[in-house]
Amino acid sequence: MTSLIAELRPLLQQAETQGISLPPSAEAYLATGSSGAPTAVFTRNLSFGMTGGDVQELQQFLIGENTGPAAQKLKAHGTTWNFATLTLNALVEFQKKAGINPASGFFGPITRAYVNAL
């Protein structure tokens, strides 16, 4: 994954400098921490049935948080670009642990703000 991001980053930056608007999932790949590893900054609401790189970033985050059995099932399955049942269940589990109400599995403004602040 790291090599793919390293290959994509110059192309995404070139598109951005040319005034081409990037989708939120591409912008998330451009954000980097001090280690050079991608650090997602979530900029759109995510819900069941959606697809995109930011969905995969959310899945990676949920796996990393390892909040319980649903996160373990998502980890065992692996990440995809699809927000489906495994992602929904892991997100509900995370929201409950974080005290986010309602714990609905919707990655909206409240959950995004919470995750982006971590």
Does residue 2 belong to any structural domain of this protein? no
pTM given for the model: 0.68
Does residue 5 belong to any structural domain of this protein? no
Residue span of the structural domain in which 72 resides: 53-117
Conformational region of residue 49, where left means phi above 0, alpha means psi within -120 to 50, and beta covers everything else: left
CB 46 within 8 A of CB 54: yes
Per-residue pLDDT of the chain (118 residues; tens, 9 = 90+): 444 455 556 665 666 666 655 554 444 444 443 333 346 789 999 999 999 999 999 999 999 999 899 999 999 999 999 999 999 999 999 999 999 999 999 999 999 999 998 8
Does residue 87 belong to any structural domain of this protein? yes
Does residue 37 belong to any structural domain of this protein? no
Does residue 100 belong to any structural domain of this protein? yes
Contacts of 7 (CB under 8 A, 6+ apart): none
Does residue 25 belong to any structural domain of this protein? no
Number of domains in the chain: 1
